[in-house]
Every structure is written in structure tokens, then in C-alpha cells.
Amino acid sequence: MIMKTIFTTVFSDGPGGGNPAPVFVEADMMTEQEMQKAAADLGQESVFVRKPVRPDCDLMLQYFVPDHELTICAHDTIGAITALKEEGLIEKEHLRVETKAGPVQVDWEEDEKGVLVMMEQFLPEFNDGVPSAADVAGALRIPVKNLGVSEKMPLENVSTSRYKLMVPVASREVLDSLVPDYEALWNLCDACGASGFYVCAQDPVRKDVFYARQFPCRSGYLEDPATGIAATALGAYVVQHSLMPVVDGWNRVSVYQGHAMGRPSLILADILLESGEITGIRVCGYAQQTEQEAALA
């Protein structure tokens, strides 16, 4: 079976940046075993476009990393919607997308930078059942004093799709120098129910800007250059703890990720606040189609 695959890069913030998202645009005839094998063969998180089962949805997306299936993925969704739009396979600007995590709203609009895709996320959940600062610092191989943990910036598990452990550190220099003990990090993720560490440092001047690195738990790769669901979890964390000035309405947190890997990325996390409560979240970004395009068997 020959499957057309469109290769995209999502959230790029410069040459070599962003997160790759191979898009299999007509995957209805593929089994889940074939999807898993395709992602493993590419060595990349991949997205598969299928007809929806739900009558209230416009399309279905399935997501696979090299080691297993994911229920939802933001950067893959942005890559898929961009590819479908540029291939002339969708015209609607407001789409309901079926995923194994549930249906989500995805909107797109064209501007001077390209196709801006805005993907709804689930309302945040916060969980303080987390490892100790000493254990986290040990897994990151840094002194506890290099963490940025405080009463205002706690270690916290936050989910807008899957739980990520928010780990503030003292500075961007600390962040960029991290070389974790991955087995220890994964064991801590298992213990607290997180799907990865999202280690972050706030810009000392621009309070709505954060730098981050994502170390996923047993995903087939050690670090991710751009993680939409982690960035929106961080955005919710920032607004929940008033780490930046917030207003009723949309609040945007800019998250720079992947720079320490040489894969600079920028993710925009929008948090809707109404009467002091978070009532909406979306991840926003652009994708570019790369020169690599293939028909895979």
C-alpha cells in the first residue's frame, strides 16, 4: 500500500527549528499497526488523517510516536490542518476534529506569515502530588538551589491534554545546561503520573515570555523541540499563579523551546480568563511544508 506523506515543520523560530510532523493525508485504509510502524520507520511523531466516526466532526486525526499511540497532539494537528489546507482538501475555517482524547475545535486563518492554526485545548487540571524538589533536582543533575521553585512557582502537574510536570529553574542558563538522568526522570514521571518534565525559566524582563525544554517519558526520543500541549499547560500555570499581569479576556504566553537542541521553536499559548477563572485555552502556531515529500509503502 502506497501512502502519500506530506512533511511539515511546526512552530519554527528560525533555521533548523520547529518540530517535524509527517502528515499521512489519506490513512483510512491503514491499520493502527501500520500507522505505528510508519511512525517507527520515520523515527518521528506522525499524524494520520481519517474520516470521522462522530457525525459532529469534520475529520479524525490519529497520532503515533515511534513507541506508541498518543490520544492527541497539538503540533501534529497544526501540521495536518496546514497540509490539508495547502493541498486544497479543506476549505472550512472552523473545524471540529475527532481525536481519541475527544473532539476539539480547530480554527485557521491566513495572515502575512502564512496559515495560523488555533487549536482548542481542554480546561486545565492541576495536581500537586509531585516528587520532592530534591528528587527532581537529582533527576536533572543540578543542585536544588538551581531550581526556581517557590510558593508562587511550585512544582506542579498540569494537564490541558496530558499531565506535564512544571519544573521552574532559576535561569535560562541553568535550563540550557541541563543533561538529565533520563531513567531517574522517567521513574519520577511514572510515580506522579506525568508524561514528561516541562522545565522552564521566566524571562527576567518580559513576564509573558518563558523558555522551556520538554523531556518526555519513554517516547522513543529524549527531548522534544516544540510541545504544544506542554506550552498550554505552562500558560495555564502562569495565569493560575499570576506570574504575569493578566486581564479578563485572552492572555498570551510566548514559549521558546528547542533552542538548547539547535531547533529553535516558538509556541503561542492563549489563556481565556473570565471573572478570574480560566474558561478557555488554545495553542497557536504556524507550519511550513518541507521539501521532503514521499509516497511511503
Q: Which CATH architecture has domain 3-120+286-296?
A: Roll (3.10)
Helix, strand, coil share of the chain (percent; to 5):
25, 40, 40
Instruction: Tell me the per-residue pLDDT of 56-78, one tens digit each, with 9 for 90 and over.
Output: 999 999 999 998 999 999 999 99
- What predicted TM-score, i.e. pTM, was given to this entire model? 0.87
Q: Where are the alpha helices (DSSP H) in the chain?
A: 32-42, 74-86, 133-140, 172-176, 182-192, 228-240
Strands of 160-224, DSSP E = 163-168, 196-202, 209-216
Residue type, 118: M
Same CATH topology for 3-120+286-296 and 125-284: the answer is yes
| CATH number belonging to the domain at 125-284, selected among 1.20.1250.20, 3.40.50.720, 3.40.1160.10, 3.10.310.10 | 3.10.310.10
Asked whether the beta carbons of 267 and 231 are under 8 A apart, the reply is yes
- Secondary structure (3-state) at 72: coil
Query: What pLDDT is attached to residue 297?
Result: 45
Domain ranges in the chain are 3-120+286-296, 125-284
Q: What is the pLDDT of residues 108-151, one digit of tens each?
A: 999 999 999 999 999 999 998 999 999 999 999 999 999 999 99
Length of the chain: 297
**How open is the CA angle 178-180-181, to the nearest 5 degrees?**
160
pLDDT of 294 higher than 50? no
**Cell numbers that stand for 86 in this block:** 495547502
pLDDT tens digits for range 78-118: 999 999 999 999 999 999 999 999 999 999 999 999 999 99
